[in-house]
């Protein structure tokens, strides 16, 4: 079982995810996080942030993290300018599930990421579907043997070493920082004897499926994003952080999303999906 603590007053952030005496969520001191307002630059305090309707781009890390949420029992809700996001978290025998509903005008396109920053040792590894299409983004350019094509928003390769860049090991620190989006719905983190599996599934009432991109449920593109910061970001005062992020969509910035790269609200006016976290190993 996983014990979850959230902070609805400050963006609905998950502030604790504990099992068997271990805290899985990483944190850093950031007192300015509690006074953030919509439109502010993102404040990285760790935990798990709800990034929607984008991750990178504008608004920075989305529009939900900087707004107060309301709570009614196990259900928490945030109202943003273009959408309302509702989340209900409940315990399971070996973890937790969070059921989400995003209500907006039909056709509204969005990205969502469970931006989970994990407290991991340098020996930790992350396991995803071998051969899954993996998108690398421009910060990876210095780490590749090939030149980055001018103007390309991403390059694609195969997990776990897209374009020859091995990503499954989460240490030791080497001064690099790289993000990737992997075409899979599940990943499993190994750190010593401990395991944390994260997955996302879309409800069957989603929009009709389109070509390209992994579908788990119906219609919407699902992925797992990896942010492997081994002391390479930010440039001025770098620190170590590891993000393992089940998501809807296949890019970090909604502005870069082509056909099939973003989720879309169906004719019902509501999109539904489920995030599952468990301490049982569920390696793909």
**Residue-range domain boundaries for the chain:** 3-278
Q: Residue 219: which region, alpha, beta or left (left: phi > 0; alpha: psi -120 to 50)?
A: left
pLDDT of amino acid 69: 98
Structure tokens at 147: 């030149």
39-89 residue pLDDT tens: 999 999 999 999 999 999 999 999 999 999 999 999 999 999 999 999 999
User: What predicted TM-score, i.e. pTM, was given to this entire model?
Assistant: 0.94
Residue numbers in the chain where pLDDT is lower than 70: 204-218
The pair phi, psi for residue 278, each rounded to 5°, is -150, 150
Do the beta carbons of residue 72 and residue 60 sit within 8 Å?
no
Contacts of 240 (CB under 8 A, 6+ apart): 173, 229, 230, 231
pLDDT of amino acid 206: 45
Structure tokens at 128: 């995803």
> Is 3.30.450.20 the CATH classification of the domain at 3-278?
no
Do the beta carbons of residue 208 and residue 215 sit within 8 Å?
no
pLDDT of amino acid 1: 83
Structure tokens at 44: 């990285």
């Amino acid at each position: 079982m996983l014990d979850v603590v959230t902070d609805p007053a400050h963006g609905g952030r998950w502030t604790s995810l504990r099992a068997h005496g271990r805290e899985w969520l990483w944190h850093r001191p950031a007192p300015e996080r509690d006074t953030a307002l919509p439109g502010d630059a993102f404040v990285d305090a760790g935990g798990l942030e709800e990034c929607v309707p984008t991750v990178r781009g504008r608004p920075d890390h989305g529009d939900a993290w900087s707004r107060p949420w309301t709570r009614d029992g196990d259900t928490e809700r945030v109202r943003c300018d273009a959408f309302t996001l509702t989340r209900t978290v409940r315990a399971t025998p070996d973890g937790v599930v969070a059921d989400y509903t995003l209500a907006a005008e039909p056709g509204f396109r969005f990205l969502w990421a469970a931006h989970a920053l994990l407290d991991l040792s340098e020996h930790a590894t992350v396991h995803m579907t071998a051969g899954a299409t993996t998108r690398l983004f421009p910060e990876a350019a210095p780490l590749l043997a090939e030149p980055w094509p001018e103007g390309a928003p991403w390059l694609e390769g195969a997990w776990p070493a897209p374009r020859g860049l091995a990503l499954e090991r989460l240490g030791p620190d080497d001064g690099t920082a790289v993000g990737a989006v992997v075409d899979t719905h599940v990943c499993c983190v190994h750190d010593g004897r401990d395991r944390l599996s994260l997955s996302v599934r879309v409800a069957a009432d989603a929009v009709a499926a389109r070509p390209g991109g992994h579908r788990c449920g119906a219609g919407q593109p699902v992925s797992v994003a990896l942010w492997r910061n081994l002391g390479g970001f930010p440039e001025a005062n770098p620190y170590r952080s590891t993000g393992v992020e089940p998501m809807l969509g296949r890019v970090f910035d909604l502005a870069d999303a082509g056909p099939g790269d973003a989720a879309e609200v169906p004719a019902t006016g509501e999109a539904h999906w489920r995030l599952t976290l468990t301490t049982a190993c569920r390696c793909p």
